[in-house]
Structure 1
């Protein structure tokens, strides 16, 4: 394993630290914008929702019945709003 050395000139420690912090903040902001839901009211089928959550249809049905994930009945079909699924996921991860 070779050791690499980085030499910086014409900058002090505080300026260098601030530049790194600013760049990291910009990258985080860009990542946050990419992760935002573009179409918040996209309706998903049961299968799509289960796949998004990586759970079985039985688990999805159980969570729906317990009120953890809201579902909508359109005729005889059950649909889930993608924005509400992602919000429920965030709330589950808080525990």
Structure 2
């Protein structure tokens, strides 16, 4: 494993500390934004998704092929975003009002 060396010149300790605090604060703000809605990025397996929807794997596959529920292929695995599954479920359960 190669070591990285950082050499800092012509900066005082206070300015260096302020730069670090500023960058860490920006990074944490970005991270906090993703944490506000943590379900958005949770990936579910086919089995977890089918269980959550109380359907068989065959039904889930059929809905995936019909683009009712979006799926993502990661290598040879299929995953579903939890938020998108819940949205699709809401769409399926809407009653058409006349």
Gaps of 5+ in 1: 1-36
Task: Give 1:39 deviation, angstroms.
Answer: 2.2
Gaps of 5+ in 2: 1-36
Task: Give 1:79 deviation, angstroms.
Answer: 0.1
Residues 8-31 of structure 1 deviation map (CA, whole Å, 9 limit, x = unaligned): xxxxxxxxxxxxxxxxxxxxxxxx
Partner in structure 2 of residue 84 of structure 1: 84
Partner in structure 2 of residue 57 of structure 1: 57
Partner in structure 2 of residue 25 of structure 1: none
| Partners of 1:73 and 1:38 in 2: CA distance | 21
| Partners of 2:84 and 2:55 in 1: CA distance | 16
Partner in structure 2 of residue 74 of structure 1: 74
Matched position secondary structure for 2:68: coil
Task: Give 1:41 deviation, angstroms.
Answer: 1.2
Q: CA RMSD in A?
A: 1.1
Partner in structure 2 of residue 41 of structure 1: 41
Aligned pair count reads 59
| Partners of 1:65 and 1:84 in 2: CA distance | 15
TM superposition score normalised by structure 1: 0.59
TM superposition score normalised by structure 2: 0.58
After the TM superposition, which segments of 4 or more aligned residues of structure 1 sit over 4 Å from their partners? none
Residues 14-53 of structure 1 deviation map (CA, whole Å, 9 limit, x = unaligned): xxxxxxxxxxxxxxxxxxxxxxx64211000000000000
